[in-house]
Chain A
């Protein structure tokens, strides 16, 4: 599958901001099953950009510096992505959860692609006993890892209600859990909490998902947004496997990974410091269009 992705973020400031330094993590990373064919980042009004230093998570980071007063800022990220990922098939021969937990604890890979960092609670996804207990029935230590992962994702999808007005970007997992509703970030955070509580290495993935149009209707341009889901490290052989608790499905060719981290703070598409007074308004539009002809 080939996608053309346009991700436009527009900031309007109540009064001119004099100074801005931002981290942009918009360029999709290199990851198994996907290849970036073309990429273009455009910023208006133009500021200085430079590649940034090492980061906490797995992301392509660009530092944006603006020193002229601006009232509006538009950041447009355009990618052409080839995605070819198989749908994982659970098997009784898969390593058990206990085995992958032990392998992760003993891992010698200190890099952000290794499992070790994802074993532990992180600032936005702390340990939580209630979530741990709720997830535990799916996470028996002897259960094969793929089977357990999809079972938990599907239970979250079944038992939680999608509700864009129930939570905010900074709602902690325990609040969304108590309400049993929320959006992709809430579901991903709840699932990660449960996996980590069981001693498993679980990461937060951000990126895009193709919105499948209902039959007979045109695809809604611009209605999409950035998406979040979960990666579980399933041992040296299987590596990282993606599951999407929002939709109760595997990460396959409908998912495009932009960045991976312990939690949202490490991979926020845009964050940083803007100095100014007054309010800021932000509009985001994301368009993930399968390339014409590639659909067939």
Chain B
């Protein structure tokens, strides 16, 4: 830690200069830093890095990474996929404003060109008819969607958000490696990287005049809104769901952009209009930013096997009732083969050359090109022309021609003779490098040169023009090998900072305050989310109740010697409560060892046969993952935390119970009183009411012993209330009254049911006739039954009725507010002979 102590004495300027000098001394021809080693921007950036980390680069790397993890926590999915696909490097890529202007102009030009081509392909198809491109170039792409032909996208554009992957050559020229059009990923990571770097190096912003990200996203959102017919449109981000690898990014972007995060099942098309199913009925949706595979978008138009699509969505587009960004079918231009035609198309359609040259490509569908590729095999990359892997390449993957064995060359030539259209030859691109922190030769962390690619994002603004995100997302290769084809997806990411000579005005995504109506009950609650929150509440409460029963059972058996033991009949009833909940098998005896065994199963069994606390936890966690855009980071952390594994069984139970208490506290004190909270609390109340009814039936009936009654008070968390109220000792009628009927005891059945009734009154109803909906009527019946009951007369039958009514109530709530998961049956009408 000597270096840390010496930090104030460290001369940042000298230190940064030494890092740069050392780095560039190790031969780095074609490195971005070495080419601009005297640019004060790099020096300033490294000085900031010294200020963070001293001379310990490993420390800098950890710092930045920790910030990134912190920012992303609310969106990460626990478990295997917890890691970001591309951890962030502490050294950002710096690009000066003049150089950036060239890149941005090139990306805008390219976006315009792509839009022009798409408008033709899905419109008049003159490019093909005139022979500028062969029909096979279009039809060969699995992402060409013929059902979109003739459909002018509402709002007028096929493309609204795209990404272009660029490579920088050793001499500093940028060129396009590929286009991301279908569902470009990574903008969310660019946002996170920027946040992480600026949190770690606070001084960077003002020293470098860093161009900000927020105006770009604001322009994109406003552009979508401007394309809609309604003035205050409802815009959704359509996600494939929480099992999608980039779900976390989607949830982040939805929250950042203020979009409604929806899945296909949330949406419905009626009379060619798109709606989201909410607790208040169907609500119009005006635009979708889709992150689903376009072929899955509408099972009626594309793939009837799609289970995540919205039947009729394309009809709604055709009726100009919904804007979809990007329009389905844009992926046709992603194929490598198209790259061979873009330079000529730019000349023909725009009257100018591509400002950012394309990677040189030969499509073998043309006889001359095929001959050229076979002649130059050794100096080219041979790759699939379209999406599907051809038969003539090893594993169907892009391969360097020079690395093919003579046998493989034979196979390639043979298949190219049959299906030349499946292949392209591409120049082998050499990438320039940038500094990254990694293990250097001989050990220790140092700045090492690694190849990188740059993903640049562009979006349409309200005027339909293209805005380019200043910066973006750099991916850094793991190996020093600088050939683009070898680098693949890359292993690390880095923030990309565009810096300029003049200060940048602070902007945030917040619109001017007078342009927004004040709303106290935010947004629209999709039925799926309401369902999730209701069940999150039920599961958390169920876990808590089971844990309480386990603790009482365990506590009283383990402490037997201390004299706290319960009568065997009472222990038997506790066992019945635990096994009745399906949490474990009935024990062989009521001996301590058997009870401990039952407790262990009920708490921690992974066998799906038992609804153990662990299993209930997993259900709650799964629901939490699907609702991250609406849960606080603290709640997510508690839900994601693994089941405790340290200490004895009782310690583990205690620590879990404290976690449940914390979750309950967070939801009571931190969640806004929105409809989502109401559903969460409704779930809790219904579940707790069911638990109390069962407890009273087990421990509060006519023959109840003193042990039974004190156990009931303990399970119902009401010992203190009881002792304060009744000094005389324990008796059935006052105990049952306190636990079941007393409306002032917050742990009583009556209190839960009153709360349920209040929630159902506050939630939206469909009719305006003032009549109760069925779930409200059911709640009212329960309230009436409980308020007229007396403790002395409360028998098993009455409690059974209450429990049945609670189950019925839960069903009615689901029927009224949630999606009804009827399975789609596919109709297929062919028998074959």
Contacts and interface: CB of A to CB of B under 8 A. Distances in A.
A104 interface: yes
A289 interface: no
Interface stretch (A28-36, A39-47, A118-126): A118-126
A82 interface: no
A294 interface: no
A132 interface: yes
A110 interface: yes
Contact of B833 (A18, A119, A123, A184): A184
Contacts of A112: 146
A158 B301 CA distance: 38
Interface string B118-144: 000100010011110011101110100
Given A54-B149, A197-B419, A117 B829 contact: no
Interface stretch (B194-202, B733-741, B747-755, B817-825): B817-825
B151 interface: yes
Interface in A1-42: 9, 11, 13, 17-18, 20-23
Interface string B414-426: 0001111100000
Interface stretch (B385-393, B525-533, B574-582, B613-621): B385-393
Contacts of B419: 197, 199
A251 B390 CA distance: 31
Given A55-B147, A120-B140, A127-B391, A9 B829 contact: yes
A119 B386 CA distance: 13
A206 interface: yes
Interface stretch (B279-287, B308-316, B563-571): B308-316
B135 A183 contact: no
A265 B391 contact: no
A228 interface: yes
Interface string A238-282: 000000001000000000000000001100111111111100101
B8 interface: no
Contacts of B147: 53-56
A119 B300 contact: no
B304 A271 contact: yes
- Scoring B386, B388, B391, B831 by chain A CB atoms within 10 A of each residue's CB, the highest score goes to B831
A75 B832 CA distance: 18
Given A265-B304, A273-B300, 18 more contacts: A17-B825, A56-B145, A102-B367, A106-B136, A108-B128, A110-B121, A110-B125, A114-B135, A116-B134, A169-B831, A198-B418, A225-B832, A268-B304, A268-B829, A269-B829, A272-B304, A282-B827, A282-B828
A174 interface: no
Contacts, number: 180
B318 interface: yes
- Sort chain A's interface into a size bin: 35 or more
B388 A126 contact: yes
- Scoring B367, B825, B829 by chain A CB atoms within 10 A of each residue's CB, the highest score goes to B829
Query: Secondary structure at chain B's binding surface: helix, strand, loop or mixed?
Result: loop
Interface in B278-303: 299-303
A123 B135 contact: no
Nearest to A274: B825
Contact of A271 (B390, B823, B827): B827
A127 B388 contact: yes
Nearest to A129: B391
Interface string B394-429: 000000000000000000000001111100000000
Nearest to A67: B270
B365 interface: yes
Contact of A119 (B121, B140, B830): B140
B150 interface: yes
Interface string B530-570: 00000000000000000000000000000000000000000
Given A54-B150, A126-B388, A105 B828 contact: no
Contact of A116 (B136, B388, B824): B136
B300 to A, nearest CB: 6
Contact of B134 (A13, A23, A106): A106
B827 A109 contact: no
Contacts of B830: 169, 185, 206, 225-226, 264, 268-270, 284
Contact of A276 (B146, B418, B822): B822
B829 A273 contact: no
Contact of B825 (A102, A121, A280): A280
Contact of A110 (B139, B145, B391): B139
Contact of B311 (A21, A126, A276): A21
B315 A53 contact: yes
Contacts of B822: 18, 275-277
B827 A20 contact: yes
A22 B824 CA distance: 12
A227 B833 contact: yes
B826 interface: yes
Interface in A105-152: 105-110, 112, 114-117, 119-121, 123, 126-127, 129, 132, 141
Contacts of B149: 54
Contacts of A115: 135
Contacts of B302: 56
27 contacts: A20-B827, A21-B312, A23-B300, A53-B301, A53-B314, A54-B147, A54-B148, A63-B315, A105-B134, A109-B135, A119-B139, A120-B136, A120-B421, A121-B388, A129-B391, A184-B832, A198-B418, A225-B832, A226-B831, A264-B830, A265-B304, A268-B828, A273-B299, A273-B824, A274-B824, A276-B823, A277-B823
Contacts of A185: 830, 832
Interface in B36-63: none
A271 B833 contact: no
A271 B828 contact: yes
A275 B824 contact: yes
A110 B138 contact: yes
A105 B138 CA distance: 11
A9 B388 CA distance: 36
